Structure 1
Amino acid sequence: MSSLPKIAWIGLGIMGSPMSENLIKAGYDVTGYTLEADKLQRLAAAGGTAATSIAQAVREADVIITMVPASPQVEAIAYGP
């Protein structure tokens, strides 16, 4: 069992994908969510876990990282279903 925190990564775009993959390479358990299926496949191929919803991604996380474009998306993540 790893003593590293479990990470939920929301937003796997041009910045989020490589950053989350670097955490995976460093030994972190990363579960990610994004709206684009190909980015979820990329995360899984790198050794991460692709979630089907934000709620699933954050369920067991110790740390939550969001990498989304602007305030409306942050608000949707924080206050949405």
Structure 2
Amino acid sequence: MQTHTIFQPLRRDDTDNAMSDIDLIVIGSAPFIELSAALQSVEVKLMRPLNFSLYEPAEWRGLVATDTVVAQIEKGARLTVI
């Protein structure tokens, strides 16, 4: 696995609170089922819904180049997780 990024949704409002969901992009090669199980345990510990998307590095680069929403996420505020 190469990169884990928590990103702020593109909508701008004041609805973020302790129960808001967490959006996570994982860029790398990880078995989907294992990643899902690991993140489910994190979701339980944080007591917040966790939504994730998994991309291969080449797939992500292609999306950044062709998808305006993904390009905004790439350029926007985010927290990289190791």
TM-score normalised per structure 1:
0.35
Structure with greater strand percent: 2
Largest Rg, 1 or 2: 2
TM-score normalised per structure 2:
0.35
Which one has more relative contact order, counting CA pairs under 8 Å at least 6 apart?
2
